[in-house]
Amino acid sequence: MALPVVDAEYLKQIDKARRYLRALIAQRNCAPIMLRLAWHDAGTYDCKTKTGGPNGFIRNEEEYTHGANNGLKIALDFCEQVKAKYPKITYADLYQLAGVVAVEVTGGPTIDFVPDRKILRFPRKKGDFQMQNKARHILRMSSIEWVPLTRILVHYQERTLWEGHILRDRILMPVD
């Protein structure tokens, strides 16, 4: 599969935004909620229909006020600071870049970022929000990748604002 082609100016803005996010996340100590934002924006991907996924729609009020997205407005507001400085970047790319940088800032690996996600301008269908009990399979993550991600979210619950019982009951349970 060929990588998307984006212009040089867009790539420069991505690089500058990445550096800005690194400083913002470290200063505000907000890596967990930024990772959660990226996760929730991507969490509606449906393998069967090849729809959903990271598309920036989470910035719309009907999405971020949904119960499963409780508290994500904080991360959205942080991202607005970045968007104001680097307006060419799509919201879809910005939210995923924030998640990538959050992993890096917390000592995780440097992740290659492939830009050019398209934004969604219309509502998703009702009931399309979170598929947490199937998320590991949907994202094609191995247990080795999945467990550290869920542990980060559990450990930093007060910063992610993700309800612990959802994590304990649905995500940390094996989905096999």
Confidence of residue 155 (pLDDT cuts 50, 70, 90): low
CATH number at residue 95: 1.10.520.10
Q: Is 176 among the domain residues?
A: no
Is 137 labeled as catalytic in the residue annotation? no
Q: Is 159 among the domain residues?
A: yes
* Prediction pTM value: 0.67
| pLDDT reading at 110 higher than 70 | yes
Q: Is 157 among the domain residues?
A: yes
Q: What is the pLDDT of residue 97?
A: 95
Bridge partner list, 51 = 46
Q: Is 3 among the domain residues?
A: no
Q: Is 175 among the domain residues?
A: no
Q: Please answer whether residues 54 and 118 qualify as being in contact, where contact means their C-beta atoms are separated by less than 8 angstroms.
A: no
Q: Is 67 among the domain residues?
A: yes
Q: What is the pLDDT of residues 80-106, one digit of tens each?
A: 999 999 999 999 899 999 999 999 999
| pLDDT reading at 133 higher than 80 | no
Q: What is the pLDDT of residue 23?
A: 97
Q: Is 53 among the domain residues?
A: yes
Cα distances from 123 to residues 41, 55, 71, in angstroms, run: 13, 11, 20
Q: Is 115 among the domain residues?
A: yes
SS3 46: strand
In the chain, the number of structural domains is: 1
Catalytic-role residue among 40, 66, 137, 155: 40
Distance from C-alpha of 32 to C-alpha of 48, rounded to nearest angstrom: 29
Helix/strand/coil percentages in the chain, nearest 5: 60, 0, 40
Domain that holds residue 36: 8-170
